[in-house]
Structure 1
Amino acid sequence: MHTRRTPRRARTAAGLLAAALLIAGCSSGGTETTASSSAQEAAALAPLPGPTPAALAPYYGQKPAWRDCGAPGFQCATLKAPRDYAAPSAGDVRLAVARKKATGPGKRLGSLLVNPGGPGGSAIAYLQGYAGIGYPAGVRARYDMVAVDPRGVARSEPVECLDGREMDAYTRTDVTPDDTKETNTLVTAYRRFAEGCGADAPELLRHVSTVEAARDLDIVRAALGDKKLNYVGASYGTFLGATYAGLFPQRAGRLVLDGAMDPSLPARRLNLEQTEGFDTAFTAFAKDCVRQGDCPLGGRGTAPGQVGKNLKAFFERLDARPIPTGDADGRRLTESLATMGVIAAMYDEGAWEQLREALTAAMKDKDGAGLLVLSDSYYERDAKGEYSNLMFANAAVNCLDLPPAFDSPDEVRRALPDFEKASPVFGEGLAWASLNCAYWPVRATGEAQRIEARGAAPIVVVGTTRDPATPYRWAEALAGQLDSARLLTYEGDGHTAYGRGSACIDSAINTYLLEGTPPTDGKRCS
């Protein structure tokens, strides 16, 4: 599963670094399972005992040694957490923490932790690049804005798997294999990726689950001196925040879960529903594209279904004959890179114009540079050919949280009709992308489960009706599981809602964060 987020303000290619894509296999389960039956059958996450175990007391008693870092006004510190909560004396994990202190005026409300999603997204980079300066002034005035990179991510003992050249090859791998040879090539790529991760961090790889990251948040909360955790999580960050609430319901303060995930779904269903979400987003893009009059995928009046067929045909041409990009490293635009470029632009309707221009250049002029830029932004590849650890941490967390969606290529082939029905354009590729955890070197420790968090203070769950990566039904499902949830709906496009242009959404969330008054359950904004 891969969830990322970007504010609507950041509409350049570089701004697409925070999006969301749940394409990694997460758990087993047939595609015929319905969301409602999955939620009913899944066990509920049990809260941890209230008192802090004596063995964890040294961790809870830490005091961060803050130092200036990054841009002016930001401070950083390092805290420790047990690598294995079942054996606290077996070793530590170092957690990187950053903050920007409340600016005033007004009574300080404590700390507000933020997480942009992933798994694998750097919360510290998000804080320093956006949240610490872009969140509403009233929120920044009264909260210390705080971020912690989860274990295995960015500055917190990052998992590494492949070098830049190896990742270039990996991202070009054909994920719509046409025959046995291409299938074997894809499986080999997944194996090499997994082996690289296993060789880099064999012990840590067993302890980067979302449950462990949520327990780390409680250590950070204590170190900050807060009685309760106040938190805004987007995309995968909603899963992390909901898990915290499930484990520590009495310590959950003001929690906003934006672009919510449904923790009760088995992965095959999770990935299938997200595939439907991307199809919904693509349909909206297709209608807008032909309405603009300069759409390379069809003239005015072309039906969205035909637009999709035209795009699929373009992908198939690239599969047979990649086109130049002008890239300094000689990379050509393959089907896989082009597909990822299109998917990246689905997260924010502000990127649709950029996508139209990139598709026009690629389809009419055989210039793949624009789509390559979009794809690189998604993978967090820089101009030097180096990648962040986003994709490595993403797989490490996903493959530990839940068993694989598929165990073999034959299982993928049997599921292809369901995925292609969900999205004729993206279904085949997203189905094959769900195979990666089948070759992971560490067995999963988690399972799909409901999160109820009984006894928690009101939790605001936010869903966007045409969200491509976290379909709206997931927000409805999570709100139905959480005992104290208030569902807030944004009727619109794009991934997540807070800070993305809706005054109605922003006002409701700001009022909750500053005054503690949640929106009325079922409130809708447009």
Structure 2
Amino acid sequence: MKKHAVLAVSALLAAGCAAAPTPAAGAQLTPTVSTTTLNALVACPELPSLPTARCGRITVPRDREHPAEGTIQVSFALVPHTDTSRPGLGTIVPNPGGPGTSTIDLSGGLFAEALTPLLDRRDLLLIDPRGVGRSSALSCPALDGPTRVFEPLAEQRRLIGECGAHLGDRVSDYATTAVADDIDAVRATLGLDRLDLLGVSYGTYLMPTYAQRFPEHVRTVSLAGAYAVNEDPTSAVGPAAFRRAIRLVCERTKRCDGDRALDDLAAVLERLRAEPGSLDVVFRGTTHRVALDEWQLTSAAGRVFSNKPDTDATLALVDAVAAARNGDLDPVRDVVRRNLLAQAEIYSYGPLALSDAGSWATSCHDYPRSFDYADPIAERTGDYEAALAELDDADFAPFSARAWSTRADYDTGACLNWPDDPTARSPFEAGADLPDVPVLVLSGDLDANTPSESGRAAAAQFPRATFREIAGAGHTPASTPEGADAIVRFVRDAHR
């Protein structure tokens, strides 16, 4: 299952941040890329937002345990620090989330803008993960374009499985461990010592993986919208955070009653479960007939708090379910329609910006599941349904446990049709040693995707971590001035 609404990165760090204090006297230097190495890279004229960037590419094995099976290209862009009169203080390596999201072209300019107060003395190293962007972008015919967005749950699962079959012997090549190893290969190529890691959403899964594998090369770790690597994907922490977020928005705006809104939503979802309807969605001239059911409304409602907070969208949902409870479903249709159109636009970007195939190749390899790929699909499905049946609807209110656990792009059964992959597993076991380095974890109090409880679990993975909850922030707490400034100050002031 995916762990974040795709393109939470579009809001990533967009608020920028204030200047922070200069480093303490005697702060330890972490050398940046040498002038000789920098000159060996090439200009990046296709990155107008990063005019000083220098680009490079390395070739790495598809599978490091079986190097004869072929190679993958991993591309990077290095933005050198601006103050050349003093020694550099290190290199920041960010990841915007996904999985399957480009770092260089889609979010490089946003990172550079937001981290400006640090970039006088620090280089910014942007690396496209394997399978997306400039790093051997991956695609599958079954997942090309936005069509999947308009399909029902069973068909989406079939298409994801068809993509896995299309990958063939490449199906295990996109594990997070492989992405982390690629980052270290770039680090070694550039002659860097220690890195300041910054992960957003899925990046909060990737960066702990890197830290666990290469602790000697980590200076700091900043995680925004975080979750623990071995977190249970069927957890009810999301619905609990959703309930809290609705109540907080109503309280802060004084424009709704949170408890009534939740009661209205529960009643409408129950109605749609018993009596589904339909709606038409026109995207780029093509009309798609979509079921208006519990699953679609749960998917749309869940996304309200899965990105940067949108008060208007929250209030539109509240008003829509109030109208639906009184017999008018048209506003609910509008909520679902807007959600589907937004998702279709995102999936139209293509693998140079967003690889749907790469996203599922990583997700189906890494994330926990309640079934075994070695079993036939019928047996997998039986095991999965048994696991769903053990969940208590009361814990997932106002949603049913099934609807929340299977909502679009967060479906815990998305990989039921994935081909057998004996290598599929978490990057490391629960309780594995992670380095004793400075770690900052930020969560938004309006995030129902990776809520504060998940952020605290992410912080608990490390011996030395600071957790902060950012009021008014959603799944992108670093996009607020407070969150972005916290990251700048943390990286600048940390000592190791």
Same fold (TM over 0.5): yes
1:285 aligns with 2:285: no
Deviations 1:150-182 (A, max 9, x none): 1122332233234578852x433444xxxxxxx
| Cα deviation, residue 250, structure 1 | 0.8
Runs of 5+ unmatched residues, structure 1? 16-59, 176-185, 519-526
User: Aligned AA for 1:241?
Assistant: M
Secondary structure, in 3 states, of the residue corresponding to 1:141?
coil
Match of 2:304 in 1: 345
What's 1:438 paired with?
416
Q: Work out the CA distance in 2 between the residues paired with 1:415 and 1:98.
A: 44
Correspondence for 2:491 among 513, 518, 521: 513
SS in 2 for 1:3: coil
Q: Residue 156 of structure 1 aligns to a residue in which SS? A: coil
2:339 aligns with 374
Rate the CA distance shift 1:166–1:217 in 2: closer, same or farther, 3 A. Answer: closer
Identity %: 21
SS in 2 for 1:498: helix
Letter of the 2:363 counterpart:
N
Q: State the 1:142 CA deviation.
A: 2.8
Shift of 1:475: 2.8
Q: What is the SS of the residue equivalent to 1:469?
A: coil
Whole-angstrom distance in 1 between the partners of 2:143 and 2:318: 26
Partners of 2:224 and 2:264 in 1: CA distance: 30
Within-5 A mapping of 1:49-68 = 64-68=41-45
State the alpha-carbon separation in 1 of the partners of residues 40 and 391 from structure 2.
Answer: 52
Is 1:172 aligned with 2:139?
Answer: no
Residues 60 and 182 of structure 2 are in contact (CA less than 8 Å); yes or no, is this contact kept in structure 1? yes
Larger mean CA deviation between 136-145 and 285-294 belongs to 285-294
The Cα shift of 1:412 comes to 2.0
Cα deviations across residues 41-70 of structure 1 (Å, max 9, x unaligned)?
xxxxxxxxxxxxxxxxxxx9x965443222
2:72 counterpart (82, 86, 93): 93
Would the alpha carbon gap of residues 461 and 383 (structure 1) be closer, same or farther in structure 2, given more than 3 Å must change?
closer
- Root-mean-square deviation over aligned CA pairs: 3.7
Change (3 A) 1:492 1:212: same
Q: Which amino acid aligns with 2:45?
A: D
Cα deviation digits, residues 273-310 of structure 1 (max 9, x gap): 2x432442244225635885766xxxx57535413314
Q: CA deviation at 1:193?
A: 2.4
Tell me the CA shift for residue 511 of structure 1.
2.0
The 8 Å contact of residues 460 and 486 in structure 1, kept in 2 or not, is answered as yes
Tell me, yes or no, if structure 1 residue 112 matches structure 2 residue 117: no
Q: What is the 5 A alignment of 1:152-167? A: 152-162=131-141
Partner of 1:21: none
Task: Measure, in 2, the Cα distance between the counterparts of 1:476 and 1:501.
Answer: 21
Partner of 1:429: 403
Task: Kindly provide the amino acid, as one letter, of the partner of residue 264 in structure 2.
Answer: V
The corresponding residue for 1:411 is 384
Deviation for aligned residue 1:208 = 0.7
Q: Give the gaps of 5 or more residues in structure 2.
A: 15-36, 372-379
TM-score, normalised relative to structure 2: 0.77
Q: Counterpart of 2:46 in structure 1: which amino acid?
A: C
- Alignment of structure 1 residues 7-18 onto 2, 5 Å: 10=11
Q: What residue in structure 1 maps to residue 21 of structure 2?
A: none
AA matched with 2:193: K
Distance 1:208 1:371, change over 3 A: same
Deviation, 1:510, is: 1.4
What SS does the aligned partner of 1:213 have?
Answer: helix
1:216 is matched with 182
Shift of 1:453: 4.6
Q: Please, which moves more after superposition, 146-155 or 204-213?
A: 146-155
Give the C-alpha shift of residue 240 in structure 1: 0.8
The answer to whether residue 157 in structure 2 is matched with residue 190 in structure 1 is yes
Offset at residue 228 of structure 1 (A): 1.1
| Conserved? CA contact 2:9–2:96, under 8 Å | no
1:484 corresponds in structure 2 to 464
- Measured in 2, the distance between the counterparts of 1:263 and 1:245 equals 12
| One-letter amino acid of the structure 2 residue matched with residue 272 of structure 1 | T
User: Distance between the aligned counterparts of 2:434 and 2:246, measured in 1?
Assistant: 40
**How far apart in 1 are the matches of 2:110 and 2:245?**
27
Does the 8 Å CA contact 1:69/1:76 hold for their aligned counterparts? no
| Paired residue type of 2:415 | C
CA contact (8 A) 2:92 2:198 kept: yes
Aligned length: 444
SS in 1 for 2:234: helix
1:460 paired residue among 435, 440, 456:
440
Cα distance in structure 1, aligned partners of 2:432 and 2:464: 8
Write the letter of the residue equivalent to 1:258.
Answer: A
SS in structure 1 of the partner of residue 193 of structure 2? coil
Give the secondary structure class of the aligned counterpart of 1:144.
Answer: strand
- Residues 189-224 of structure 1 show CA distances to partners (whole Å, capped at 9, x for unaligned) of 42342123331x323322110111111110111223
Instruction: Find out whether 1:323 has 2:275 as its counterpart.
Output: no
Query: 2:33 maps to what in 1?
Result: none
Q: 1-side partners of 2:44 and 2:477: how far apart?
A: 33
